[in-house]
Amino acid sequence: MIFSDLTNWEKEKAVYPEAVNRGIEYIRSTDFSTLPLGKCEIEGDLMFALLQEAATKDWEQQRPESHRTHTDIQFLLSGEEMIRVAPLSDEAVISEESFDTRDIAFYEKVGAESSLVLRPGSFAVFFPGDIHRPCCSVSQDQPIRKVVIKIHKSLLGLK
């Protein structure tokens, strides 16, 4: 997992995987105010963007999730969002698994969670297996706008 913002990315990008840097460069160079919500191809099915609008909710109303095939770069465009994170551990209990069809599993139980607060310009990178609970309210429910870059594991040299 990586947690940072565009300001620090310039100093940190030398240690990021190249595919993650390409995703962040796409974010930096794209005017999302001109794009419709939904999917936008970047490198075909291997890397694409999902432009989303959602309303944050209390963290207990959001389900923890993980992916097997894709890495997420979750970049906040507007609003304020808390994403809770937990390591994949023996405590994690899957309640719904759709890796083959939607590349996602939801959890009914995870280990101890930590919280990241995203504000416009900040991002979190979740690699396959990283458990994350997005769209949680920081202090109150509010609308957010975000882009999620999906990077296929093959671009990261993963099997």
- pLDDT tens for residues 76-99? 999 999 999 999 999 999 999 999
Which pLDDT belongs to residue 156? 96
Which pLDDT belongs to residue 114? 97
Higher pLDDT, 158 or 60: 60
CATH fold of the domain at 2-156: Jelly Rolls (2.60.120)
Per-residue pLDDT for 118 more than 90?
A: yes
Q: What is the DSSP string of 74-120?
A: EEEEES-EEEEEE---TT-EEEEEEHHHHSEEEEEE-S--EEEEE-T
- pLDDT tens for residues 45-68? 999 999 999 999 999 999 999 999
